[in-house]
Amino acid sequence: MTIKKLLFTGVFSTVLSISATAQKKDSYTHKIDSIITASVPIQFNGVVSVTQKGKVEYLKSNGYKDFEKKIPLKTNDQFEIMSNSKQMTAVLILQAAEQGKLDLHTPIKKYIPSLTQTWADTVTIHHLLNHTHGITHLEKPAAFKAGSQFKYGNLSYTMLGEILKNTTGKSFTELANSLFKKLKMDHTFVYHTKSTPSAVPGYMNENNQFSSVKESFLNDDIAPAAGIISTVQDLAKWDQALFKGKLLSPEFQKQMLTPSTSAQHDVFGKESMGFGYNVRFIKEAGLDYYAVTGLGDGFTCLNVYFPSTDTTLIILENQMPENREYWSFKEAAIKNVVLKAITAK
């Protein structure tokens, strides 16, 4: 083959590669557009971001920040991220463990001496992190033996916030906001009752009729479980830091990203899949990926990281359906579109 032909072949191959990449992006761009603009069976009201290798591939908002005043959402608006907050609390706990300030497998009685129930002598921080503790109320017996079952909730992460304060001498808010500053997550902060949050208000959606949430359930105590406010851009930064090993040593990174129990979530199918320290381990369409969800207070959130292509999908909505059938409905549809684009041959 002549040099001229070789050069032509090389250029042609490059063009084909670029064309294939563009087609994949184009395929999910139009499909996501269709999902977020369709009002049936439920409207989408939020922001969607897709980044690949640190580059923004898709970023759009749809709907209103304020329904009464008809103020449109912007792509850099700040949302309550609900249970996505737990993943950040888990990292702070592991950082404290790295520093020798606590041990993941020591009974929590050592870290919260005021606990009176007998489960405090068997439940460990590890059990609190992966929701296998069995605690339903601080003054009641455990519902099951620690480590034997999975039961998701906020209580264990409020306790982790107290453990952080007792072992580091700093409040959860101080620790979390300091971490966000280091990561240049400049638009992320912990909800505080004494401050005026700049987050968009939350709405409940019944048959596409939106009513504002008058009283948030957030308070200082529940902040480690559900109280972080952020943007799609900052959460993409978080994924890069977490999954690229910039937050934890290899030892604790492995613990963070190793399933230690299993759980089911409708966004990812009807089967139980791996669950760790507020990280879901999903196997779908021949692909392994990580995810975390959030729902409540008039907000719906999804954060998915596909390591095979270094792709992050962030969805933040300031609406929550009254009808349970539609919880995370649009989130699942958008995730499926991105998943299909990544796995397409």
Q: Quick one: pLDDT at residue 193?
A: 78
Structure tokens at 264: 């089911």
pTM for the full predicted model: 0.92
According to CATH, what is the number of the domain 41-343?
3.40.710.10
Q: How many CB atoms lie within 10 A of CB 300?
A: 29
Closest C-alpha to 310, from 84, 18, 58, 51: 51
DSSP 275-303: E-SS-EEEEETTEEEEEEEEEETTEEEEE
∠ CA(264), CA(266), CA(271), 5° rounding?
40
| Interval 47-60 mean pLDDT | 97
pLDDT at 15 exceeding the cut of 90: no
Structure tokens at 320: 């929550």
Q: Where are the domains of the chain?
A: 41-343
Q: Quick one: pLDDT at residue 5?
A: 47
Structure tokens at 38: 């369709």
Q: Indicate the SS3 state at residue 61.
A: strand
**225 and 86 Cβ atoms separated by less than 8 Å:** yes
Least confident segment among 81-85, 95-99, 192-196, 253-257:
192-196
Q: Quick one: pLDDT at residue 19?
A: 46
pLDDT at 48 exceeding the cut of 80: yes
Is the C-alpha dihedral spanning 133, 139, 142, 146 positive or negative?
Answer: positive
- CA dist., res. 197 & res. 282, Å (int): 33
Q: Quick one: pLDDT at residue 1?
A: 53
pLDDT > 90: percent of the chain: 89
Q: Quick one: pLDDT at residue 195?
A: 67
pLDDT at 12 exceeding the cut of 60: no
